[in-house]
Structure 1
Amino acid sequence: MTNEPGHEIADALGVLLTRSTREHLHAALTEGLGEAVDALTYPLLSGLDRAGARSAADLGREIGLDRTTVTRRADRLQRAGLLRRDPDPCDARATLLALTDAGEAVVATTRGRLAAHIDASLASWPAEDARTFSRLLHRFVTDGPFTGEAPRH
C-alpha cells in the first residue's frame, strides 16, 4: 500500500461508491418522504434533477440502471405524483420522464438533508479546511477522471 494521493483517493472513492454506502445514504435522505420515495427510487429523482427530462433508457445510462428497472421504478414515482411522462418532441412514439413540482420539492428536501449531513460531518473541521476541501473536491469532479475524457499517461 502506498501513500500516494492517487491511491488514497482511489481507496476513499471505493468506499463512497459501494452499493451499500449509496443505499444507506439514500435511505437516510428519503426517510419519511412517502412510500414511493426510497433508496431504490431516489436515484431516478436525483438523476432527473441533475440531467433534466430523459427517456427511460437515457436516464438508465445516466444512473447505471437498465431501462426496464427505470421504467418499473418510474411507474411508482408517477403514481405518487412525483414524476410525469411527457411526449418526446424528437420522437412521437417515445416519452420523456420528468419531475413534477412535487418531485422537485422532494429532491430539494433530500438535497437539503444531504447538505445538512455534510455540514454536520465537517463541523469539527477548521472552517478554512472545509472551504478548501469543498473547492478542491469540486475541481476534482469537474476536471478529474469523471469528465469522460480518456486518461492521459
Structure 2
Amino acid sequence: MENEVGHEIADALGILLRRTTRTQLHRQLTEGMGEGVDEQTYPVLSALARTGPRSAADLAPEVGIDRSGVTRRASRLEAAGLIRREADPADRRAHLLVLTEEGRSVVAELRTRLAAHIMGSLSGWPPGEAAKFAHQLRRFTAEGPFA
C-alpha cells in the first residue's frame, strides 16, 4: 500500500481527535475538580492557559466551538472564580477572558492529571520508548502539518 505509514498515522490521529475520545478524556480528568470544571469547560481553561487572555470570539476557533458556546462556558468558569473578564485594551467594546490565580492552579492540577494518565497508558512500554515517542511526536507537531 502506498503511503502505508502515513495511513497508519492518519488512522491513529483520527482516533485521538474524535470528539468522543476528547470528551471521555476530559470527563476523566475533571472528575472531582469542583464547581464549573467539567468536560465542557476543560477546553476553555486549557486554551486560555496555552494562549493567554483572549476574547470569546478569538478563543472559539482554538476550542472548536462558536463564540456563544465559549461565552456560556466562560460564564460558568467566571462564577466558579476560575476566570475573570477584563476590558480589551485594543477594543474597549470587547472583553478578554483571563485565568485567575485559582484558575491557573486548577489548570496545573489538570495538566498533572493528564501527564499521569498518559504515563499510565505507556507503563507497559519498554524503557526509553516513551521518551522517544514524546520526542518524535513533538518533532512531528513542530515540523509537520500542524506547525
Tell me whether the two structures share a fold, i.e. TM-score over 0.5. Answer: yes
Please state whether the residue corresponding to 1:65 is helix, strand or coil. coil
Q: Which residue is 1:25 aligned to?
A: 25
Matched, 1:103 2:73: no
CA shift for structure 1 position 119: 0.9
C-alpha distance in 2 between matches for 1:86 and 1:143: 35
Runs of 4+ residues deviating >2 angstroms: none
Deviation of the 1:142 alpha carbon: 1.0
Q: Counterpart in 1 of 2:52?
A: 52
Counterpart in the other structure of 1:124: 124
Inter-partner Cα distance in structure 1 for 2:68 and 2:120: 37
> TM-score when scaled to structure 1?
0.93
> Among the aligned pairs, what percent are the same residue?
61
Give the deviation of 1:3 after TM superposition.
Answer: 7.2
Q: Distance in 2 between matches of 1:127 and 1:97?
A: 42
How many Å separate the matches in 1 of 2:130 and 2:2?
A: 25
* TM-score, normalised relative to structure 2: 0.96
Match of 2:81 in 1: 81
Distance 1:12 1:23 in 2: 17
Task: State the alpha-carbon separation in 2 of the partners of residues 2 and 14 from structure 1.
Answer: 19
Question: Which letter does structure 1 place at the counterpart of 2:102?
Answer: A
| Cα deviation, residue 136, structure 1 | 0.0
CA distance in 2, matches of 1:17, 1:71: 23
Structure 1 unaligned residues grouped into runs of 5+: 148-153
Deviation at 1:2, TM superposition (A): 6.5
Q: Distance in 2 between matches of 1:30 and 1:111?
A: 10
Per-residue deviation at 1:35? Answer: 2.8
Aligned length: 147
**Cα distance in 1 between the residues matched to 2:146 and 2:76:** 31
